Structure 1
Amino acid sequence: MSQLKTQPDNAALASPVFIVGSLRSGSTLLRLLLDHHSQINMFGEFEGAVSQAQGENWPDIKDYWRFVKTDRQTSALKLDIDQSLDYEQLVRDFLTQLHRRNSGKIIGASIHSRVDLLPKLWPSARYIQLMRDPRDVARSCIGMGWAGNVYEGAKVWISLEARRTKLRQRTDPANNLNVYYEQLVSDPIGELKKICAFLNVDFEENMLEIESDTSYGFPSAGYAYQWKTKLTGKEIRWVELRTGEAMVTQGYKPTSTKHKPLSRLERTHILFQNRYYRAMFHIRKWGLSLWAQNIISRKFGSKKWTDHVRLRIGEKNKLYLR
């Protein structure tokens, strides 16, 4: 490899760009818009880089090898596992492999889980901090089968915000850019120009042409603040009670600061509604037998059986990808 090519590769790999936001925050839309830039390779979701951590500790390396082979998102990247490397070296090597396939000035991905651990892997990484109204995130989680009601759906938003706070504490503010989903869909050109300036690249018109080769449409302001017409007063109260000050910190105004606390009956209803809905959702999606095997294998099964079930579920889930 020539010196001219080595230098850009090293620069890109030393400071990758990560879109950080909760699930259902619009990260896929933003990633696709950025990936249509000629100098940016936003290759997808890189959740597997950090999702298996236990607290502040990385997973056992052999367990991680199994995960890479059986996790739907990670295995789809078709990465080579160099078993001579430790965990951090291996994950950085994964990024190197992905960069070699499509080298450019910038490489990055979206991550929704243990974002607070990313500085341990890439101290000079840059972050596009994507925010979305928790009331819309909570509602959207129901349709994905991750929650049976908005109270449980709000947990997805809260979890990421706690991790985001730690990430900000561990990184240089200059390496973080705040982007709001509501502004992105209302003024995509303006927001993309802001992001391009942050990444030190010029804005390109073809960034907006995602309809030509993806299943996503052009950003529309109609996707912002859907909770105002699609959530009931009770559901709005549930989300606002659960998110509390966190939503205010992120710039979202609650409808009331004096909501009545949840009653014991409401808490019981929320708990059982969530469990029942999620079970029914996955039974419809995977079938009763595979759903039952997933529960039993994770609690009592061998590693071989658990991996087999995981792979089958991954194949089922592919059928529902957008």
Structure 2
Amino acid sequence: MPASPVFVVGMPRSGTTLFSAMLDAHADISIAPETHFFTKCDVANRSPSAEAKAEAIRFLQAESGVQDMHLSAEEWQQIRDAAGDAPADILRVLLQTYAARKAARVWGEKTPDHLAHIDTIRTHFPQAVFIAITRDPRDVYLSQQPMPWNRDTIIETAWTWRRYAEQIDTYRSALGGHFHDLRYEDLLRHPEDELRKVCSFLRLPFDPGMLSFHENAEDALSAEPWKKNTRRPVDPSNTQKWKDRLPPARRWVIQRVAREQMHDYGYPTPPVAFDTDFWSDAIALIAESLRIVIRRRARKHGWR
């Protein structure tokens, strides 16, 4: 039997959308966009009740990723009728309903931050499998900068990446056949090799259509403008952008915070020269971080 459900996880801007589009291009796999069910839904762990069921449905209907699935009124009614009163059962039936459109046997979703909720997810879905993708933290930082949702300082980003890397290490050992992980860079350089490994993990034959995912990428997986790469072929050169674009002080901060984990994942950490360029960038970085903290406090306290 193929493995199901599948949860694609990893730090945001690590290639989770690209990877999910590749998986979804398999004839027998359906990967829905972000539901944020276990990260944001207040009733996700509540005991079964009609009230909890109704609240779970309201939450999912309001989520932008679920809206991108374009579920019809008839499909929503089918979800209500088929699901029990446990909130997580709503998620299960929703994902199965979405998968039924292409008659896929393997169903799942990708919410990057579900990595921090794997233990909870396993209480509701004991047979669940998880696939985590990791990317060089310096490129993650660069990729996050233009994102409208990004609110973190560089130190926060580096610490988050380190924590994610440590969690992946933990689950790789603890979950055995229920957990698989790969590097974004390896997926770009050797997509067929990596996808064959993933298919083997899911107990499915490899589907060559996964390599031409961009030709039929689902709107649901590429709705936001920053996810447009799911409509393009894999670009093996989209790695190590940090070498040309990341100023020295920022490079130093990330490597200082996450050096050990970067080495574990095969990411080089060359020394940084403490020259004029470094100190100039350091001053700019301090000012930038202060602006982020001040804006955050202003939003919290309603300052103008």
Secondary structure in structure 1 of the residue aligned to 2:32: strand
Counterpart of 1:138 in structure 2 is 141
Distance 1:188 1:16, change over 3 A: same
- Could you tell me whether the CA contact under 8 Å between 1:152 and 1:274 is conserved in 2? no
Could you tell me how far 1:154 is from its partner in structure 2? 2.9
Q: Does 1:73 align with 2:65?
A: yes
TM-score by length of 2: 0.72
Distance 1:207 1:225 in 2: 24
CA RMSD across the alignment: 3.7
Write the deviation string for residues 178-237 of structure 1: whole angstroms up to 9, x where unpaired. 211111101112211222222222222222213323443211221111111111111101
- Could you tell me whether the CA contact under 8 Å between 2:7 and 2:130 is conserved in 1? yes
Counterpart of 1:310 in structure 2 is none
| Structure 1 counterpart of 2:289, from 250, 254, 271 | 271
Distance 1:99 1:120 in 2: 22
Structure 1 residue runs without a partner (length 5+): 1-10, 280-291, 300-322
Counterpart of 1:104 in structure 2 is 104
- Could you tell me whether the CA contact under 8 Å between 2:129 and 2:178 is conserved in 1? yes
Could you tell me how far 1:26 is from its partner in structure 2? 0.7
Aligned residues: 267
Counterpart of 1:194 in structure 2 is 197
What one-letter code is carried by the residue in structure 1 that aligns with 2:161? Answer: W
Could you tell me how far 1:254 is from its partner in structure 2? 2.5
TM-score by length of 1: 0.69
Write the deviation string for residues 98-118 of structure 1: whole angstroms up to 9, x where unpaired. 233332231122221133232
Write the deviation string for residues 36-66 of structure 1: whole angstroms up to 9, x where unpaired. 11111122223x2211267xx8369366454
Distance 1:165 1:191 in 2: 19
Percentage of identical aligned residues:
23
- Could you tell me whether the CA contact under 8 Å between 2:61 and 2:67 is conserved in 1? yes
- Could you tell me whether the CA contact under 8 Å between 1:24 and 1:141 is conserved in 2? yes
Structure 2 residue runs without a partner (length 5+): 218-227
Secondary structure in structure 2 of the residue aligned to 1:221: coil
| Structure 1 counterpart of 2:26, from 16, 34, 37 | 37
Counterpart of 1:226 in structure 2 is 241
Q: Does 1:49 align with 2:37?
A: yes
Distance 1:176 1:130, change over 3 A: same
Write the deviation string for residues 67-95 of structure 1: whole angstroms up to 9, x where unpaired. 32322123434473649612233222322
Could you tell me how far 1:97 is from its partner in structure 2? 2.5
- Could you tell me whether the CA contact under 8 Å between 1:139 and 1:153 is conserved in 2? no
Could you tell me how far 1:278 is from its partner in structure 2? 8.5
- Could you tell me whether the CA contact under 8 Å between 2:153 and 2:289 is conserved in 1? no
Aligned residue runs from structure 1 range 1-322, under 5 A: 15-46=4-35, 48-52=36-40, 58=45, 61=52, 64-77=56-69, 78=71, 80=76, 82=80, 85-115=85-115, 116=118, 117-145=120-148, 146-147=150-151, 150-161=154-165, 163-164=167-168, 167-168=171-172, 171=175, 173-214=176-217, 215=228, 216-256=231-271, 269-275=287-293
Distance 1:50 1:163 in 2: 17
- Could you tell me whether the CA contact under 8 Å between 1:138 and 1:156 is conserved in 2? no
Instruction: Name which structure has the greater RCO, CA cutoff 8 Å, separation 6+.
Output: 2
Could you tell me how far 1:29 is from its partner in structure 2? 1.0
Counterpart of 1:305 in structure 2 is none
Distance 1:147 1:208 in 2: 34
- Deviation above 6 Å: which 4+ runs of structure 1? 264-267, 276-279
Distance 1:237 1:64 in 2: 44
